[in-house]
Structure 1
Amino acid sequence: MGLHGRRLSGRRIELGTLFEDVAARGRTTAVHLSRPLDIAPGMGTVLDPRSLARLVRTAAGWFAAAGVEPGDRVAVSKRDHLDLVLLCCAAARLGAVPVPLPASLEPDVLDVLLKRLDPALLVVDAARRAETRGTGFAARRTLVLGHASPSGGEDPSEPPDPSVLSLDDVRGHGPPPPRRPRADDPLVILPTSGTTGVPKLVAHSTRTLLRRLAAFEAQRWPVLGSRPDDVVAASFSFATGRALTWTAAVSALGPAAVVVVTSADWDEARGPLEEHRPTILEAQPSTFVRWRPYARSGAFDRVRLYVSAFDAVHPPTVRAFLAATRHPRPIWVQGWGRTETGPLTFRVLTRRALRTRRGGHPATRDLGRPVPGRTRLRVLDRETLRPVPRGVPGLLVCSTGALCLDYVGERERYLRKRSGRWFVTGDLGVLTRSGRLLLLGREADALPAAGCLEMEDLIEDRLPGVAECVVLGVPGGPAQPVLVVENGPRLDPHRWRDAVSDLPELAEPVLVERERLPRTATGKVRRAALREQLGLPPRTHGTGRWT
């Protein structure tokens, strides 16, 4: 089997029949949920591939009864859970194009995205429906999950809206036979994180998302791939492309058990993590930060492999979790990429790599090399867009067979970022003489004298009481640090001055509670929203042209 064609039951990975194909192979992996699925609460918290396949077929029947046809777009916006993946599979089974949209999107942002999409069906849960009633969202029909009665009873004084359906309106409809799109046709449309504004809508195909990304990961790679005796746990947003590729790859490999944690809240996460004690754990960096005070709880004492993606991770967090496990040689894999491209580089961190060095600090900004034979990187001058020598910072561009097809509703923006095989990532970085990537941060968040991520690394590493640091550039003035401080909003001013004495000038730090930081569904800080919250000017040192 080649790298592009991991097969399930004699066939390549297909989104619409993913769980049917896994079940046909005889996989019996138990899937343990931190709470029941919203679309099937009565099924409890332990499922298997056969039960997941039945749910996908059932949901495909709902969508067919709602009038979904091949080629239609089906937008799904509900509370985060694994059933977002199941609903995407259900739409794909009909030959439709699913679009998972985080429930955390503000109504005006959701409205913009739906106008770009013009979906045949919008699927929401009752909570999302309550938030958006009367907004006139652009969808030909809306299906409301849960126990609400949207087609009659929302407001007795208003006539029922025939375009709004409840599950009672679509239950009992059997799904048609599965349809599989051609490899290069749109398979799914994915939102970007939206840290700098309205998320982009990224169209991927079967070839780019499943053949190039999921199939590559679904190999039993030494150390990095899951084994039949592993317990694999995940806690990240399921309204992402990562959720689809992770689900496909883990399902193909068939570990002993899978644990799905839908919240960074330790009260929800603790039970399943301590009961099943994972050997592989993947989570958003912001979730690892939330769990850091509980690293020694015993829930992580069997972990041999940690995986983080979506955002930067800082040294104290990595160090805490590598120290928490009793495994003799645990590793931390940090990936870097974009929704448009999938992973472009990865770095393996060990306990030894995280030890503080005299005159320096652990370089978590070193994200390793491009994936051999699959991705390439170049660095361009930000003004001339010409290649710069190794060791010189600039704008990162990539080449990969997993590059997305387009931005839905923003074709011109996509073409501006693409030149032949090369695509502008929107990040700043340095390629070392040995070919390793040192990531500096997003171009839109650039600082004049240093990378914002590097400064955040240093501050968190030097001040153990700082749980999270965000540095915002302020043209015409010093950069503004924003800190989340453990054990209350206090910071010793002398320790602060000592920690930043060798850094470019910084304003006095603003201390905030963790909950006050505006975030995306993947836990990234929405820096533009934070600037507005603090009363800072919207202009930055970056151009924002490459977001």
Structure 2
Amino acid sequence: MGTLFDQCADRGSHTVLHLDRPLDIAPEAGTALTVTRLAELTAELAGCLAALGAGPGDRVAVVKRNHWDYDLIACAAIRIGALPALISGHLPEGALESLLKRLEPAVVLTDRPLPAGSARRVLALGEPWPGATALDDLRGTPSPPVRRRGADEPLVVNHTSGTTGAPKLVVHTTRTIIDTLARPESIRWPVVGTRRDDTVANASSYAHGRTFCWTAAVFSAAPRKIAILSEHDPAIAARVLSEHPPTTVEALPSAYVRWQRLAASRDNPFRAVRLYVSTYDAMHPPAVRTLLAASQRDRPLWMQGWGQTETGPITFRFLTRRALAARSRHPTTRHLGRPLPGGPRLRVVDPVTFRPLPRGTPGLVLTRTAARCTGYVGEQDRWRAKAIGPWWNTGDLGVLTRTGALLLLDREVDTIPGLSCLELEDVIEDRLPEVVECVVLGATGRLPLPVLVTEDGRIDRDRWCLAVADLPALAEPHTVTWPEVPRTGTGKVRRLELLTRLLGRAETHGSGRWT
């Protein structure tokens, strides 16, 4: 990964990267960059890190605004043998301080002052503050020789989403994240593989492991264009995607939700899309249906991946317009498909005894995959508690069907006995188009609490009563607007924080042992 862009340039890649705003590490470089320019920036940044004292085996933490240059910085640190740890600037101060204490980084590259003692050396983006060195002051430092590492040595650290508290710091190696995940993804598979004439768009949280893997795979596949969205505001998406109409799109579920009105508008920029990809979080049927309808292709596909930072993708399911045409009580997007042949394996077990359960019985989902991370920084005991021999405890509840497909119910910590919150959310969003997002929360001693996100924070009571008449008993809905919902850097709802805000406590039915 330290020489990714050099290799792409040497192979004659003509890919041009188009950005919604300049990179934070190179604002002067503009918004259109070739792979040759990316190779130069990687080497330049490697020289800056080395000049500040980072070297082989050192941890280099990155904390900044969301942008794709997280991955460029990671490649620069890897180039000199250091271990990049990518931390979202969206994290609350307490969580950030906790993660930096676990990491004990030699260098932190950041765009803001950090708590005292966070690192021995700080590299500042923009104007420096006392005790920090400006990145601009080190530019022009020669890049040291490339340092190689073994396939099983730590390559990169990414953190989990942190929906239930401070995130975990996940360690991946070249073997787990590149050889097992990125390399197969870079193959030009029929239908889903990246083509040379593609314009590939991505709107993600770039501190996370998915984009590191995506960067390796997509640049190796050398599409014509790559369009990057660091902000997911529909107005910004409309501008960038209209200038560079995508043929494939990968975005956070929360970004797709916000783009529904754009997709249904006259200026719809998704007309040429042949493939949508979603990961990170559950997608509900209305958003998938709207985006598929926006494409003017005959048979656009939606590829829904399910997995975790610790494992990478585990299962895939392909959704079509036809699959989503029937609106029924049965959830259409909780069916997550199967693992790829020869890839990860699935097992559903009793949450108490951990004995395997027969097909069709709800339980705790385990997976066995060669992409399993090798540890948690500063919390190896927590990693061991989830590693059951070669199996990994996902902390999700689900059902394996007779055909081996996974039907997802809920995170164990969010569960409500006898119900699936995710299924209820599917149904409610399908029946009430004015609901941008529905979140069903469970607390002990109370009816399930539906939180409805609408444009104006209101809902027509008669329409609500009609929509839920045949559903299990629910508490009176709480309506909010999009900015009022606490979220992670990946757009996931912080359910426990939201529950605490509304009820003053977060006593859930789940144990939360495997979060």
Give the TM-score of the pair, scaled to structure 2.
Answer: 0.98
Q: Give the SS at the match of 1:354.
A: helix
Tell me, in whole angstroms, the C-alpha distance in 1 between the residues paired with 2:128 and 2:444: 52
Mapped pair 1:544 → 2:512: yes
**Residue 136 of structure 1, aligned match among 110, 113, 116:** 116
Mapped pair 1:32 → 2:18: yes
Please give the per-residue CA displacement for 1:421-448, whole angstroms capped at 9, x wherever unaligned. 1010011100001111001111111111
The residue identity in structure 1 corresponding to 2:269 is A
Please give the per-residue CA displacement for 1:192-250, whole angstroms capped at 9, x wherever unaligned. 00000000000000000100000010110100001111111010011011111111111
Could you say which residue in structure 2 is the equivalent of 1:167?
Answer: 135
The answer to whether the Cα contact below 8 Å between 1:344 and 1:370 also exists between their aligned partners in 2 is yes
Could you say which residue in structure 1 is the equivalent of 2:287?
Answer: 317
Please give the per-residue CA displacement for 1:40-62, whole angstroms capped at 9, x wherever unaligned. 11111110110001101111011
Mapped pair 1:150 → 2:129: yes
Please give the per-residue CA displacement for 1:167-202, whole angstroms capped at 9, x wherever unaligned. 244222111111121000100111000000000000
Where structure 2 has 5 or more consecutive residues not aligned to the other structure, the ranges are: none
Q: Which runs of 4+ in 1 moved over 6 A?
A: none
**Residue 521 of structure 1, aligned match among 479, 489, 505:** 489
Could you say which residue in structure 2 is the equivalent of 1:92?
Answer: 78
Mapped pair 1:440 → 2:409: yes
The answer to whether the Cα contact below 8 Å between 2:57 and 2:82 also exists between their aligned partners in 1 is yes
Tell me, in whole angstroms, the C-alpha distance in 1 between the residues paired with 2:331 and 2:242: 30
Mapped pair 1:405 → 2:374: yes
Could you say which residue in structure 2 is the equivalent of 1:483?
Answer: 452
Q: Give the SS at the match of 2:206.
A: coil
Q: Which moved more, 1:266-275 or 1:41-50?
A: 266-275
Q: Which moved more, 1:164-173 or 1:311-320?
A: 164-173
Could you say which residue in structure 2 is the equivalent of 1:262?
Answer: 230
Could you say which residue in structure 2 is the equivalent of 1:467?
Answer: 436
**Residue 457 of structure 1, aligned match among 409, 426, 439:** 426
The residue identity in structure 2 corresponding to 1:243 is T
Tell me, in whole angstroms, the C-alpha distance in 1 between the residues paired with 2:403 and 2:136: 61
Tell me, in whole angstroms, the C-alpha distance in 2 between the residues paired with 1:137 and 1:531: 34
Mapped pair 1:183 → 2:169: no
The residue identity in structure 1 corresponding to 2:289 is R
The answer to whether the Cα contact below 8 Å between 2:74 and 2:84 also exists between their aligned partners in 1 is yes
Q: Give the SS at the match of 2:178.
A: helix
Deviation at residue 299 of structure 1 after TM alignment = 0.3
Please give the per-residue CA displacement for 1:472-507, whole angstroms capped at 9, x wherever unaligned. 101111011111123x22212122122222222211
Tell me, in whole angstroms, the C-alpha distance in 2 between the residues paired with 1:367 and 1:394: 16
Tell me, in whole angstroms, the C-alpha distance in 1 between the residues paired with 2:3 and 2:385: 36
**Residue 349 of structure 1, aligned match among 305, 309, 319:** 319
Tell me, in whole angstroms, the C-alpha distance in 1 between the residues paired with 2:329 and 2:439: 20
Please give the per-residue CA displacement for 1:72-94, whole angstroms capped at 9, x wherever unaligned. 00000011111111101000001
Tell me, in whole angstroms, the C-alpha distance in 2 between the residues paired with 1:491 and 1:361: 24
Mapped pair 1:242 → 2:242: no
The answer to whether the Cα contact below 8 Å between 2:497 and 2:506 also exists between their aligned partners in 1 is no
Q: Give the SS at the match of 2:323.
A: coil
Q: Give the SS at the match of 2:191.
A: coil
Tell me, in whole angstroms, the C-alpha distance in 2 between the residues paired with 1:372 and 1:339: 21
The residue identity in structure 2 corresponding to 1:413 is R
**Residue 427 of structure 1, aligned match among 396, 406, 411:** 396
Please give the per-residue CA displacement for 1:431-469, whole angstroms capped at 9, x wherever unaligned. 001111001111111111211111111111111111101
The residue identity in structure 2 corresponding to 1:242 is R
Could you say which residue in structure 2 is the equivalent of 1:530?
Answer: 498
Deviation at residue 137 of structure 1 after TM alignment = 4.0
Q: Which residues of 2 match residues 205-216 of structure 1 at below 5 A?
A: 205-216=173-184
Could you say which residue in structure 2 is the equivalent of 1:72?
Answer: 58
Tell me, in whole angstroms, the C-alpha distance in 1 between the residues paired with 2:324 and 2:212: 31
Tell me, in whole angstroms, the C-alpha distance in 1 between the residues paired with 2:471 and 2:309: 32
Do the aligned partners of residues 267 and 278 (structure 1) sit closer, same or farther apart at CA in structure 2, a change above 3 Å counting?
Answer: same
Q: Give the SS at the match of 1:353.
A: helix
Deviation at residue 362 of structure 1 after TM alignment = 4.9
The residue identity in structure 2 corresponding to 1:150 is W
Give the TM-score of the pair, scaled to structure 1.
Answer: 0.92
Could you say which residue in structure 2 is the equivalent of 1:303?
Answer: 273
Could you say which residue in structure 1 is the equivalent of 2:246?
Answer: 278
The residue identity in structure 2 corresponding to 1:508 is E
Please give the per-residue CA displacement for 1:368-409, whole angstroms capped at 9, x wherever unaligned. 011210100000111211111100111000000000000111
Could you say which residue in structure 1 is the equivalent of 2:302?
Answer: 332
Deviation at residue 120 of structure 1 after TM alignment = 0.3
Could you say which residue in structure 1 is the equivalent of 2:4?
Answer: 18
Tell me, in whole angstroms, the C-alpha distance in 2 between the residues paired with 1:395 and 1:292: 33
Deviation at residue 116 of structure 1 after TM alignment = 0.4
The residue identity in structure 1 corresponding to 2:63 is S
Tell me, in whole angstroms, the C-alpha distance in 1 between the residues paired with 2:45 and 2:74: 10
Tell me, in whole angstroms, the C-alpha distance in 1 between the residues paired with 2:252 and 2:116: 33
The answer to whether the Cα contact below 8 Å between 2:458 and 2:480 also exists between their aligned partners in 1 is no
Tell me, in whole angstroms, the C-alpha distance in 2 between the residues paired with 1:534 and 1:19: 48
Tell me, in whole angstroms, the C-alpha distance in 1 between the residues paired with 2:124 and 2:16: 29
Tell me, in whole angstroms, the C-alpha distance in 2 between the residues paired with 1:442 and 1:246: 25
